[in-house]
Amino acid sequence: MIDSYTLLEAMNGIHDEQISQAMAFLGYDEAGQPRRRLVWRTVLIAAIITVLLGAAAYAISGIIHSTGTYPMSNTGEYNSLGELPRIEKTVGYDITPPESFTNGFAFERISVKGEAAFDENNDVLMDFYGVSIEYAKSGAQNIVLFLSPALDLPAAGERPDPMRTRKIDGVEVRYSRDHYKIVPENYEKTEADLIAEAAGHFYITYGPGTVEEHDYEFASFVLNGVEYALMDENGDGEETLFQMASEVIAAQH
């Protein structure tokens, strides 16, 4: 099950060039400045989560040295759910997302990206496609639904419990609200950082530019062999995420 601990563990092994690939794909230059208007304010975190959703489980298995973007032939961005049959043929798993949610968020775009797990020599052990679907509402940051093949691999250690879990139509949905601090490469953790990390649901990752801090809410679950994770930075609360998860689950039936 993908959660913030899994994402953090995977982040620790990302190669600099893989982060650069993700930034370039999303339209940022080497200095971290936007080349074009983007929907997500925190592009680096969004890029890492997009890159890692499918591969993150490998990073804590003790087998994979790193994860990241990987050039594959059928990646792209689409503005219509009418492209789903073609996308499903490419990625190899079913995708049945809602066109809209009852809270007003509606489909905006869907992206397909190549991902891979690498060994310590940076050789590819497995590659696959990850999917991200953005939902937009006026006056709000986009909510993103990530999908990837569910990877049932053992973890090297215990992961923190989610803040809440709920059974929805027989599916266990995990909810967490986490604080992410994006810092420059030369940043040294403060005593406050160390205390917050020890308390849980506080994560530091490295990127270009100045320090940025953001709260993200996640609701994740596995259904029919596919890993789903909703990501929201609007502060909508757990009931909103659980409701949206229930609508994603209902769309599969």
Amino acid at residue number 161:
D
pLDDT-based confidence at residue 68 (cuts at 50, 70, 90): low
Specify the pLDDT at position 213.
84
Burial of 244 (0-12, 13-18, 19+ CB in 10 A): buried
Q: Taking each helix axis from N to C terminus, what angle separates 16-26 and 43-52, rounded to the nearest 10 degrees?
A: 110
User: Around Cβ 127, how many Cβ atoms within 10 Å?
Assistant: 15
pLDDT-based confidence at residue 152 (cuts at 50, 70, 90): low
H helix intervals, 56-138: 56-59, 84-91
**What's the token pair of residue 94?**
């079913």
Specify the pLDDT at position 203.
79
Question: Distance (Å, rounded) from C-alpha 221 to C-alpha 238?
Answer: 14
Specify the pLDDT at position 95.
92
Burial of 100 (0-12, 13-18, 19+ CB in 10 A): middle
CB 178 within 8 A of CB 163: no
Supply the mean pLDDT for the chain.
75
H helix intervals, 66-220: 84-91, 191-199
User: Around Cβ 31, how many Cβ atoms within 10 Å?
Assistant: 8
Specify the pLDDT at position 72.
87
Please name the residues in contact with 191: beta carbons below 8 A apart, sequence gap of 6 or more. none
Specify the pLDDT at position 16.
46
Q: Tell me the per-residue pLDDT of 3-40, one tens digit each, with 9 for 90 and over.
A: 443 444 444 444 444 444 444 444 444 444 444 333 33
Integer CA distances (angstroms), 112 to 92, 122, 237, in order: 12, 23, 28
Residue 219 has pLDDT above 90, yes or no: yes
Question: Distance (Å, rounded) from C-alpha 42 to C-alpha 233?
Answer: 10
pTM exceeds cut of 0.85? no
For residues 57-74, average pLDDT:
60
pLDDT-based confidence at residue 156 (cuts at 50, 70, 90): very low
Q: Which residue has the higher pLDDT, 154 or 142?
A: 142
Percent pLDDT > 90 in the chain is 38
Residue 56 has pLDDT above 50, yes or no: no
